[in-house]
Amino acid sequence: MKTSFYSILYPVMTKSLEALSGVLSKAAADAEAHKSTRLNYEEWFLNDRLIYNQMGLARQVQIATDNAKNSIKRLTGADVPSFEDSETTFAQLQERIAKTIDLLKAVKPEDVNDKEDVRVSLPYWDGKSLSGYEYATEYLLPNFFFHVTTAYAIIRKNGVAIGKSDFIGPLPLK
């Protein structure tokens, strides 16, 4: 694959969400193995956070998937479904990730490659905007990776045996 506006966004975010799905599977298995039936362990894990005033694990996954999904609408104008942000189980978060990946995979290079100069505005930007390219490279990708990494961090600090390769995913080494 070569560098294009499409290729630096949709294949990259798809791969990262696939890796996140694997990380969440390991977290769910670890939690299941170590659960106490007297504690609502799944709800607590999904609400756990690095510090009291930062968002919790489920919310990190919700925002990462929203970043990815909503970029399609912001760049191409195509409608994308809203998600309800009501996930309270690992299985529901997996479903959200799977739906997001389906949407990302449905994006075609030609839908995106000429969108570097569209104007993109977010609700909290006070009517101001960025170019599609600025939005993608200065906001979307850093923000997306921020939330995927923070989800990983919350899982990691709960002692789940994950490592960097779980975050990166398989590499096409030859």
Binding site for a copy of itself (CB under 8 A): 1-5, 7-8, 11-12, 15-16, 50-51, 54, 116, 125, 128-130, 133-134, 137-139, 141-143, 145-146, 149-150, 152-153, 156-157, 159, 164, 167-169, 171-174
- Which residue is associated with the tokens 């799977």? 98
Query: What does the DSSP assignment read for 38-75?
Result: TS-HHHHHHH--SSTTS--HHHHHHHHHHHHHHHHHHH
Least distance (Å) from a copy of itself to the CB of residue 129? 6
Helix (H) or strand (E) run with residue 22 in it: helix 10-34
Specify the residue, 47 or 143, whose C-beta has the smaller distance to a copy of itself: 143
CB of 143 to a copy of itself, least distance (A): 7
List C-alpha distances in Å: 13 to 17, 90, 108, 157.
6, 20, 14, 24
Closest distance of CB 128 from a copy of itself, Å: 4
Kindly tell me which of 33 and 51 has the beta carbon lying closer to a copy of itself. 51
Residue 6 or 90 having the CB closest to a copy of itself:
6
Taking each helix axis from N to C terminus, what angle separates 10-34 and 57-76, rounded to the nearest 10 degrees?
Answer: 160
